[in-house]
Amino acid sequence: MKLLIVNGPNLNLLGTREPEIYGTVSMTDVLSALKDEFAQTATIDYFQSNHEGALIDRLQDTDYDALIINPGAFTHYSYALADCLKNILCPKVEVHISPIYKREPFRQKSVTAPHTDAVLSGFGVEGYRLAAIYLTKNTLQNTVK
């Protein structure tokens, strides 16, 4: 199974950007741990961009079986990204490191979430692992049917 993780704007700064909100673990560390843990069940690819069109281009290249996406600020206003997710048929989970529903009012709305199978918010970087657990089990169960 090929699992794609896509991160939106400013997530390239994970580990150093607002550590009181996003923690001090880098995405490199998160990916290393995920690749170790899921080595037997998934190949993990990663893509990050600060540009909406680059994210959409990568998502439209459907060379993956399941998707974890953290759209960053695009979560709250990118109807283009929402439309793209709507057309992706594989299982997908939206992840947010911080608890978006406890933050500023503009961050409490996700235009992308309705086009995913689940949303994890507020679990820190552990959300990526929880999403991977769900997706690897869900994808394997659907394959066996």
Assigned token pair, 127: 């959300």
pLDDT recorded at residue 141? 54
Q: What are the residue ranges of helices labelled H in 8-125?
A: 19-22, 27-37, 52-60, 79-86
* Total residues belonging to the chain: 145
Which residue has tokens 């995913």? 116
pLDDT in tens, 57-74: 999 998 999 999 999 999
| Full strand arrangement of the beta sheet holding 43-48 | 43-48, 2-7, 66-70, 92-96, 118-121
Q: Which of 64, 96, 115, 128 is catalytic?
A: 96
Q: Which of 13, 35, 47, 7 is nearest to 129 (CA)?
A: 35
Give the Cα separation of 109 and 10 in Å (integer): 19
The structure's pTM equals 0.91
Enumerate residues 6+ apart whose C-beta is below 8 A from 50: 8, 9, 10, 12
22 labelled catalytic: yes
Q: Which of 22, 64, 115, 128 is catalytic?
A: 22
pLDDT in tens, 90-141: 999 999 998 888 777 777 789 999 999 999 999 999 999 999 999 999 765 5
Q: Helix 27-37 to helix 126-144 angle, to the nearest 10 degrees? A: 30
pLDDT in tens, 20-32: 878 889 999 999 9
128 labelled catalytic: no
